[in-house]
Homo-oligomer: A and B are copies of this chain.
Amino acid sequence: MSEHKRVLIVGGVAGGASAAARGRRLSEEAEIVLFERGEHISFANCGLPYHIGEVIAKRESLLIQTPESMARRFNIDVRTRCEVVSIDPKAHTVVVRDLDGGGVENVEAYDKLILSPGAEPVAPPIPGADLPGVHTLRNIADMDAIKQAVDAGGPERAVVVGGGYIGLEMAEALTLRGVEVTLVELADQVFIAADAEMAAPLHQQLESHGVDLRLGVSVSSIAADGAGLKVGLSSDEFVECGLVIMAVGVRPETKLAREAGLAIGSTGGIAVDEHMQTSDPDIYAVGDAVEVTEFVGGGGALIPLAGPANRQGRIAADNIFGRPSVYRRTQGTAICKLFDLAIGMTGMSEKALAGAGMSYEKVYTHAASHAGYYPGAAPLSLKLLFDPETGRILGAQGVGADGVDKRIDVLAVAIRAGLTVEQLQDMELSYAPPFGSAKDPVNYAAFVACNVMAGDVKLCHSADMLAPGDGQVLLDVRTRGEVDGGTISGAMHIPVDDLRGRLGELPAGKEFLVFCAVGLRGYLACRILSQNGIACRNLTGGYKTFKAFSERGIG
């Protein structure tokens, strides 16, 4: 194989930059040209909201590589402000428009082409969405524009449209800058990748930081209003503000690929095989523009994440330079910080499993992020989804102020390795009081799942508590003081420590839906009941999960 290849790369961020660097390490002789429409390559796009919020003080720190440093270190021909406007796959050429050169167009030939165009913000057809003061946030220029508006002291209030990553991070950033924020989200929860009851703490977090959260609401219009803007909502209300951030999501940027006749997947991303090769064998595509295969369920999916984009860039370069390396699907491991909380997930959510018609069981745990007696421990809620037949771990979500990233990463490896909940319970994790517990929250979640698998306890879920069947009785096994602080309507009460002596008080022939605060005492109560021949189920996650579930939509 000759290495005197000419490789063109479209897009200089994440996947494109990774492909360029990897390509050079594999071949000193190849000619590698990187085209980037914007001014900057390889910038830290995940850092943009944090510079607006002044958490990251220096703008330059977001510019990881400059065109000059990339050119010098990797001998890459970097051409910024150059937009590739068309591809001729037969001729093996692209047309490049020089945005600073009066739009002059040149034809460039390639042996291999790598597309890394990314994803573009979805622009809903809202009247007024093109007004000055309405922004999206995708690149350094967008960031500069928003920051300038805030620095100038213009907006007293901003409306952030969309409760995904960018929406949540911008709500935080603007709040930190002293701007009042109204966050509008069409769904009944923010961070819709996660399940609603796991996102519920984010709603409380937003409200406790003064964000005006509007769930189940969309924007119907934006109008100029003196020096500001007037945002009309589907609830027939209006919000006056000085700034609107449109962050309703992104979609793959596929125009170039479509026009070149490349195959597009059913999800709307560029179709690629496991080598990141498109339907044209000399064209590769990577990053947020491509359709990936979801790891657990195997379906096609759009999962725009920085880690996978970087890996895909590396793999495309590998294959171009004679190494048949393989991209092994995307499992959607993700995390988002929101003020003092983090929410993370990996694998499939419950809604994704239900949508795919896959069989699953779920358990919830609420443990401390590290030994409770050591300062700084914070509550950590985990949701573990697993196959009830095989015990295979299908997905996990976590929310809390501390240690979420660690547990999600542990569970991400477990899912990637195809482990079962039985294997997870044996996992030997690092323990000292500042860092964890002798039984880590991950072990503990696995214990709970294994108890279900072993038939030691039957579970019930929050929805069951709201509509118990005829033969079912709710049984609260917490202390008197806990019950006085609130319980589930209709529950009878016997503290677990008294249960052995008070079994006679239980009505005969019933199934008891047992609950405690988080599920631990409920499990013990169920063991006592079932060994005494009394039918019972334990509410997984206890009253804490019930509260999150029943109040999930309350912003």
Contacts and interface: CB of A to CB of B under 8 A. Distances in A.
Given A439-B310, A524-B25, A61 B409 contact: no
Interface stretch (A123-131, A239-247, A525-533): A525-533
A140 to B, nearest CB: 13
Nearest to A333: B428
Given A62-B373, A373-B62, A430-B333, A436 B405 contact: yes
Given A413-B417, A527-B25, A432 B46 contact: yes
Contact of A374 (B55, B310, B414, B429): B55
B406 A46 contact: no
A412 B431 contact: no
Contacts of A414: 413, 417
A225 interface: no
A308 interface: yes
Contacts of A342: 434-435
A328 B426 contact: yes
A432 B336 contact: yes
B335 A28 contact: no
A217 to B, nearest CB: 26
Interface in A186-221: none
Contact of A47 (B337, B373, B430, B443): B373
A412 B428 contact: yes
Nearest to A59: B373
Interface in A79-119: none
B410 A430 contact: no
Contacts of A61: 372-373
Contacts of A337: 432, 434-435
Interface string A165-176: 100000000000
Interface string A414-458: 101101000100111111111110111001000000000010100
A24 B525 CA distance: 11
Interface in A498-545: 500, 523-524, 527-528, 531-532
A72 to B, nearest CB: 5
Contact of A430 (B409, B429, B435, B532): B409
A307 B428 contact: yes
Nearest to A342: B435
A305 interface: yes
Nearest to A61: B373
Interface residues of A, number: 85
Contacts of A410: 409-410, 413
A394 interface: no
A378 interface: no
B305 A335 contact: no
Nearest to A370: B405
Contacts of A334: 430-432
Contacts of A466: none
A56 B432 CA distance: 14
A306 B431 contact: yes
A456 B330 CA distance: 26
A193 B87 CA distance: 58
A14 interface: yes
Interface in A335-375: 335-337, 342, 344, 346, 371-375
21 contacts: A25-B523, A28-B532, A46-B371, A46-B438, A55-B375, A56-B433, A61-B372, A72-B497, A73-B496, A295-B428, A306-B431, A307-B440, A334-B431, A335-B432, A337-B432, A344-B430, A406-B409, A409-B409, A412-B427, A412-B430, A416-B423
Interface of A: 14, 24-29, 44, 46-47, 50, 55-56, 58, 61-62, 72-75, 165, 295, 305-311, 323, 328, 330-337, 342, 344, 346, 371-375, 405-406, 408-410, 412-414, 416-417, 419, 423, 426-436, 438-440, 443, 454, 456, 496-497, 500, 523-524, 527-528, 531-532
